[in-house]
Amino acid sequence: MISKESLKKISPFLWEIPKSFRPDMRVPARIFTSEKMLDEIFNDQSLDQLVNVTTLPGIVGYAYVMPDAHEGYGFPIGGVAATKFPDGVISPGGIGYDINCGVRLLKSNLKIDDVKEHFESLAREIYHWIPSGVGKGGRLKLSIEELDKVLKKGTKWMLENDYATQQDIDHTESYGCLENADPSVISSRAKKRGSDQLGTLGAGNHFAEIDFVEEIYDEEAAKAFGLFKNQITFLIHTGSRGLGHQVATDYIKIMMQAMPNYNIQLPDRELACVPLNSPEGENYFNAMAAAANFAWANRQMITWQIRQAWKKEMGNTGGELSLLYDVAHNIAKVETHDIEGKKLKVIVHRKGATRAFPPGHDELSDEFKPIGQPVLIPGSMGTSSYVLCGTKEGMKTSLGSTCHGAGRRMSRRAAKKAVHGKTLKKELEERGILIRVGSIPGLAEEAPQAYKDVDDVVKVVHEAKIAKKVARLRPCVVIKG
């Protein structure tokens, strides 16, 4: 049983569960949190799950969890772990069912006073353009041949078909395409689920928001990112929809059956894994990459749709909506990190965690190398969201990773019992936040009180120096499934 006494305090914002805590641990576990937030983490099984992650074959360094930690499938949400390349394991539970769920931020050239009288009609127009809700299909109906091209090329396919600009690609993590993607290792059922879902939000915690820049913390970084006070922005949060979920479902089943062939025994079957260089591991990695490409294409299609709505409502006075950045937070990637004094090629699992690469990193475009990678951390509905940038310290202490959001403190079921959807909608609109939602009961599941305080979460990130605050955004319009 993990208790506060089991933890060693490394710094005010970093705690460790030593390797000696349990005999099957291969590495220590580290938790980014504050004294204030620590007690809340013991309310679920997230730390037990973190300790289980340390038992993965081939894991190196530490298993980490971010300050938005909460219980997930296999890995805790907010979990980060690296395994040796190529013979360390890959685990779908370390990526999540919604492969490449992620966030992107669009910027306008207008201020809130220029746009606020248009919020009602903009909300209506965006809601019209973006299908949202469980199983909702989009405007694009792709043949299997066309879908395979999307799965292989990601945002590059969107560029070829006039739904993206070159700048969109340059401002997307991994340029919106993982090259190892292989559509042939994705099931026909997964493809069928994804064939009409490009440009859709889905339900749950996914959303599109109109925000404004409420505060600037770092003038130099904000200028480099093209952000200014009171600027209107658009935040998009969604992933690979039913296609990604099916890929995860298919391969978790395959891995559970294959593990005995590799003599893998784990404390939790939800950590199902195989060596990356096994046939099952390679197939999953390539299927995951294809699903990630689909998610980037999905967010790009939503971007195109928001641009259409913006142009229709604002006309020539609105100008163009440009992409600041798009970050994934459910993904596994091959990266090189300094671990225990050695440069190692590893498979980094980020599950509810965001890449946060520092200034000068080779994977960043020339535009972002001087300042570091933009990092986007959305809050819960009705609270602030943040723009940050990656740091050199984070590369040393967290595998260049940070949190992905506020993190749940209540289950969806508990939130629905505690909050009435209609009452919440009214309360938010009284605070000046316009809501467009497909499901009023579903709205209660995403109530602000169901989440941790995003300001506290981001304070830990900033003080621990795994990412640096640049700007805070405040919502004006929220569109949900």
Q: Does a structural domain hold residue 422?
A: no
pLDDT (tens place) for every residue of the chain, 481 residues total: 798 899 999 999 999 999 999 999 999 999 999 999 998 899 899 999 999 999 999 999 999 999 999 999 999 999 999 999 999 999 999 999 999 999 999 999 999 999 999 999 999 999 888 876 565 566 778 999 999 999 999 999 999 999 999 999 999 999 999 999 999 999 999 999 999 999 999 877 899 999 999 999 999 999 999 999 999 999 999 999 999 999 999 999 999 999 999 999 999 999 999 999 999 999 999 999 999 999 999 999 999 999 999 999 999 889 999 999 999 999 999 999 999 889 999 999 999 999 999 999 999 999 999 999 999 999 887 789 999 999 999 999 999 999 999 877 777 777 777 767 777 778 888 888 888 877 777 777 777 777 788 999 999 999 999 999 999 999 999 998 6
Indicate which residue of 128, 404, 420, 462 is catalytic.
404
Task: Quote the CA–CA distance of 64 and 80 in Å, as a whole number.
Answer: 5
Q: Does a structural domain hold residue 225?
A: yes
Please tell me the total count of domains within the chain. 1
Query: CB-based burial of residue 467 (10 Å sphere; 0-12 exposed, 13-18 middle, 19+ buried)?
Result: buried
- 191 is written with which tokens? 């493809």
Q: Does a structural domain hold residue 424?
A: no
* Helix and strand element counts for the chain (H, E): 16, 19
Q: Does a structural domain hold residue 429?
A: no
Q: Does a structural domain hold residue 417?
A: no
CATH code at position 32: 3.90.1860.10
Task: Quote the CA–CA distance of 110 and 128 in Å, as a whole number.
Answer: 23
Name which of 304, 320, 297, 353 is nearest 467 in CA terms. Answer: 353
Task: Quote the CA–CA distance of 335 and 67 in Å, as a whole number.
Answer: 23
pTM of the model: 0.95
pLDDT at 146: 96
Q: Does a structural domain hold residue 437?
A: no
- Domain with 146, as residue range(s), is 4-92+102-409+451-480
Strands 374-377 and 385-390: antiparallel
- Residue 21 CB partners (closer than 8 Å, separation 6+): 2, 6, 29, 51
Name which of 372, 206, 221 is nearest 299 in CA terms. Answer: 206
Q: Does a structural domain hold residue 432?
A: no
Confirm whether 404 is a catalytic residue: yes
- Residue 268 CB partners (closer than 8 Å, separation 6+): 49, 52, 74
CB 240 within 8 A of CB 212: no
Q: Does a structural domain hold residue 97?
A: no
Helix (H, G, I), strand (E, B) or coil at 31: strand
